[in-house]
Amino acid sequence: PSSLPRFKNIPHMSFDDAAREPDQTFSLNQDPRGELEYPTKIARFSNVYHLSIHFPKNFGAETTKIFYIGLKGEWTEAHRHEVTICNYEASANPADHKVEQITPQTHFIS
């Protein structure tokens, strides 16, 4: 391949989705021994749970053959939380805070 667009966090990506702007595209060099490494934009790929790689073109061959794809990085277990529905009060509602006994207090400043 001569070009390598990469897309992050699109779980059910199709070829129609490959027309969108990729998160990063590598312009690859011919590397028959597989020794070249390409640096990733760390800020864009710091929180990836799904990676899609597209090979749209090659260096003129009829077919594109991929023998190995190596990825570097640190793996962490995904912690996916469901949506929590919460209501926050802008100000307290006294009816929600029932107090059995109210004892008046006076504070003197001397």
Q: What is the CA radius of gyration of the chain?
A: 28
Give residue-wise pLDDT tens across range 89-103: 777 777 776 666 655
Model's pTM, two decimal places?
A: 0.57
Dihedral angle sign, alpha carbons of residues 14, 65, 75, 45:
negative
CA distances from 32 to 1, 5, 65, 85 (A): 11, 20, 11, 54
Please tell me the distance from the alpha carbon of residue 29 to that of residue 51, in angstroms, as a whole number: 22
Domain ranges of the chain: 1-74
Give residue-wise pLDDT tens across range 8-55: 888 888 888 888 898 888 888 888 887 888 888 888 887 788 888 888
User: pLDDT confidence of 110, banded at 50, 70, 90?
Assistant: low
Kindly report the length of the chain. Answer: 110
